[in-house]
Chain A
Amino acid sequence: MSTADDINAAPQISKISEAVIRIAGNSQDGIQAIGGFLARLAGRSEQEVMTFMTIPSTISGGPSIFQVRIGSGEVLSSGDEADLLLAFYDHSYLAHLNSLKPGGIVIYDSDHMKADDISVENLTKYRHLGVPISSLTIEAIGGTGRDKGKNVFALGLLAKMFGLNVPKLHKLLAERFTGKDPKIVETALNAFNAGHNYELITATELFQFKPGENVGQSQVVMSGNEALTFGLIAAGVRFGAGYPITPWSDIMELLRRELPKYGGQFQQCEDEIASISMAIGASWGGGVAVTGSSGPGIALKTEAIGWASMAEMPLIVVDVQRGGPSTGMPTNIEQSDINIACYGGHGDSPRVVIAPASVEDCFYTAIEAVNIARKYSTPVIILSDQGIATRIEAFKEPDLKSLMQDISPDLSPVTDHKPYDLSAPDGITRHIAPGTRVASGKYPVVTGLEHDELGHPTGSGKLHTQMISKRRNKLKKLASEFPVPKIYGPSEGQILLVSWGSAQGPVQEAVKLSREQGHAISAVHVRYITPLPPGLETIFAGFSHVFVVELNDEGFSGVGQLGALIRSHIPDPKIRGITKVDGLTWKVKEIINRALELAK
């Protein structure tokens, strides 16, 4: 068995600081598993990693890809072009060859694709290496032609090619299959070693990563949906309710399994409306409950969000956005729910909308959202997107001991209580939970009817005006507490790119790259969508152009949804949109080209 040291001794090794590897096959080939192993290994090797995957919307089968970008330095996006393409079939080869850099390496399964089928043009443009992956896997571990294990064989190939740490990978494989039949661990290791020992892999070029920069940091590797779920748990959320819908379901399934460990529970309900209603009921019970969904489900919940706004009930609503409208493109990325998140509902129903920027940010955003919901007694919508939800990233392990919160209800008696006290500073009031004794004998009602300070209905125009102001003013106060967004790059220049959600990484990388090319481009990222953070107008003043980069349609006004929202605060025609709805994440070059074109 060869070890990492043997590879170090090999002559033709190129030192690299990062690599983009794209694995293409069908969804049942276990390519997500290879990607997961690579990401986890990078996390354990103090490297940065970012992944990108597509899932077919069919239940089983269909083409699928997993892209991993591993870097010794900062990794901001999953990469525009791949250094290596691993193709399991001819259709994977044909569909993804154009994602490879010229001169890049393609490893294809020669059991599924003939060398004769490769065009001369492609042969000169890319380096090809045919490996009989399927048959060698069967040779190594036996079995039928059902292709089980070929993903692990391919992982062995990649480990050899990139000089990956073999003992660590062995450990990861063993951990992954622990608890199952011990033979399965053995089989996996055999498949891996067969790939790793495959001699001809040395025919192209071998690589070795420079040491990572995150030395001494304990890193965790997870998806955005996982980080968001654990953030909610750390925040003290102990009740949730939901209904299955992609890509929100991961969060619901994880909460269902995890919450009972903390004395909490998650309920799968009969529909979206029941789930938000149950969550609101539990929030009234004294906690901060969570519900969530994706596109169509959020539309169904809007009446109840309006109630939570009116009744001033703390609540977390997670929206993992997907392509819309209607059923839309359920497994594709899009950022087109700003309008429904910020404005969805009848009447004036202010709420808070926060969009996490990365997987790590999902964890902290969840805690922040819960604390805002409690402090301001308001619904908070966490606007995640498919790009963060399913992406795997490594990040510094949070200090869980200091972050874990206890927000269980305080039922100690009160002298008197007005749930909607108009004299409260900045209009910020909080509820007492049922079970709380009120010495005055006057008990509160929480309601969706316009109400007086005790929650009893009123038809008074004066009270309606006062209460509407109260609900607005408390969130204006919140906005004033938000930090001014930091500018990425110099504070003056030609173009300012504005990003939100998962676009942060690619936009910042676009700034880096374009500045190297001599362009005066900077960026600012907006996490707080509603209310907006202070200071944007001042930041915008330093630039000739402000382009809001977002994955939604330019609409009737020529700017996307965040662009339109910003324009309603800062009506400056220099604010324009760079938008697209092709269901794919941003490529760095695409952003730069669009920005330079628009600024002409």
Chain B
Amino acid sequence: MQTLKRNILAVPIVVWIGLLVGVPLLFVFVLSFLSRDSLGNIVVQFTLENYQRVFDPIYLRVFLNSLLLALLTGILTLVVGYPVAYITSNLEPKKRALSIGLIMLPFWISSLLRTYGWMILLGNAGIINNVLRALGVIDAPLSMMYKFSTTLIGTAYMLVPFMIVAIFNSVDKLDRSLLEASYDLGANKRQTFFNITLPLTIPGIAGGFTLVFIPALGLFYVSDLLGGGNTIFLGNLINTQVTRGRNRPLAAAFSMAMIVVAILVISLYGRVAKDDREGLFQ
């Protein structure tokens, strides 16, 4: 009873999450063991066939393809995001608020629209090609669309704010006296960064990586639009099976496999950040 009283304020959120995350997740889990009939209707009959199909060599390659995209997205957002986060946290308070505001601003616009924005920018008749042609730099349009790299850029663009904010928090918390001590002991800026700042912000990097990696596994419309559907990711596979494929149990099995990967990544993060009292999930 004591516990209940103390945690009473947490009840709404527990109900909310239980209802909108817990229950559907349970449905997906159960669904992944069910069969379907020839009309695509779900039949309550236990089967492991869906999971067998997940381990089909072709579908495993789709998994690897998604993991590769997520990994590269993590690296790209880290390379782009770290300097932004580092510089932002060293700004004076007013400018810093402005900078954070600008980083979050794109979230005010639908991500689908922003993806279309990239198409307008990169297309054969897009802004970049038109400008380069008008300047006489190129004769024929550069082909920048419908490649793996286009998908990567689009996905990284979509997720980079998460990386920046996670690292920003980490750099911001940094005990400045440690940096002063480092300078006092004769280290230059570079040495201080690599020996003090970087190691101390690893939990932030790991947190940002987790926040970027997991959604990158599932974003399917970016590869449909920017990648021109020329390759296939886990999100595409699940999307097709839920809709036109009419095989929701198989889609559920793929989703469970994806959740397992996500849990692995989160537990890996837990290890890296276990000493960080104010990490993502504390």
Partners in one complex: no
Which residues of A pack against B, CB within 8 Å?
none
Which residues of B pack against A, CB within 8 Å?
none
